[in-house]
Amino acid sequence: MAWGVKNNLNQLQALASTISEMASSELLTGLIIRAQSGFFTVLIETTDQTVTCQLRGRLKQGPRLGDIAAIGDRVRISLLPDESGLIEEILPRKREIVRMDPRPQGEYRQILLANPDQAVFVFACANPAPRLRMLDRFLVIAEKQEIPAVIVANKVDLVGQQAAHETFGIYPPLGYTVIYTSVTQNLGIDELRETLRGKLSALAGPSGVGKSSLLNALQPGLGLAVGEVSQAIGKGKHTTNFRQLHRLDIGGWVADTPGWKSLALWDTEPEEIDGYFPELRRLVSECPFSDCTHTHEPGCAVLKAVQQGQVRPERYDSYLRLKAGQE
Ligand SMILES: Nc1nc2c(ncn2[C@@H]2O[C@H](COP(=O)(O)OP(=O)(O)OP(=O)(O)O)[C@@H](O)[C@H]2O)c(=O)[nH]1
Ligand SMILES: [Mg+2]
Ligand SMILES: [Zn+2]
Domain ranges of the chain: 1-91, 114-262, 270-323
How far is ligand 1, taken at its centre, from the CA of residue 127, in Å?
9
How far is ligand 2, taken at its centre, from the CA of residue 190, in Å?
20
CA neighbor of 206 nearest in space, from 148, 111, 124, 263: 124
Ligand nearest to the CA of 298: 3
Angle at 38 between CA 245 and CA 241, to 5 degrees: 55
Evaluate: CB of 325 within 6 angstroms of ligand 1: no
Atom of ligand 1 nearest to the CA of 230: 23
How far is ligand 3, taken at its centre, from the CA of residue 287, in Å?
5
How far is ligand 1, taken at its centre, from the CA of residue 123, in Å?
10
Ligand nearest to the CA of 280: 3
Rounded CA separation 98/105 (Å)? 18
Cis-peptide, bond into residue 288, ω within 30° of zero: no
CB-CB contact of 25 with 10 (8 Å): no
What kind of fold does domain 270-323 have according to CATH? Ribonucleotide Reductase Protein R1; domain 1 (1.10.40)
Beta pairing, strands 28-36 & 177-180 = unpaired
Atom of ligand 1 nearest to the CA of 216: 15
Rounded CA separation 27/279 (Å)? 47
Instruction: Write out pLDDT tens, residues 44-89.
Output: 999 999 999 999 988 877 767 899 999 999 999 999 999 999 999 9
Beta pairing, strands 39-44 & 49-55 = antiparallel
Atom of ligand 1 nearest to the CA of 213: 15
Ligand nearest to the CA of 126: 1
Q: 110 forms bridges with which residues in the sheet? A: 99
Evaluate: CB of 175 within 6 angstroms of ligand 1: no
* Res 140 pLDDT > 60: yes
Q: Which CATH class is domain 1-91?
A: mainly beta
Rounded CA separation 311/186 (Å)? 34
Rounded CA separation 77/91 (Å)? 11
Evaluate: CB of 246 within 6 angstroms of ligand 1: no
Instruction: Write out pLDDT tens, residues 153-189.
Output: 999 999 999 999 999 999 999 999 999 999 999 999 9
How far is ligand 2, taken at its centre, from the CA of residue 298, in Å?
48
CATH assignment of 114-262? 3.40.50.300
Residue with CA at minimum distance from ligand 1 atom 30: 155
CB-CB contact of 126 with 155 (8 Å): yes
Report the pLDDT value the prediction gives residue 325, as an integer from 0 to 100: 79
Report the pLDDT value the prediction gives residue 236, as an integer from 0 to 100: 40
What is the four-CA torsion angle of 283, 285, 290, 294, rounded to 10 degrees?
0
Instruction: Write out pLDDT tens, residues 99-128.
Output: 888 888 888 888 999 999 999 999 999 999
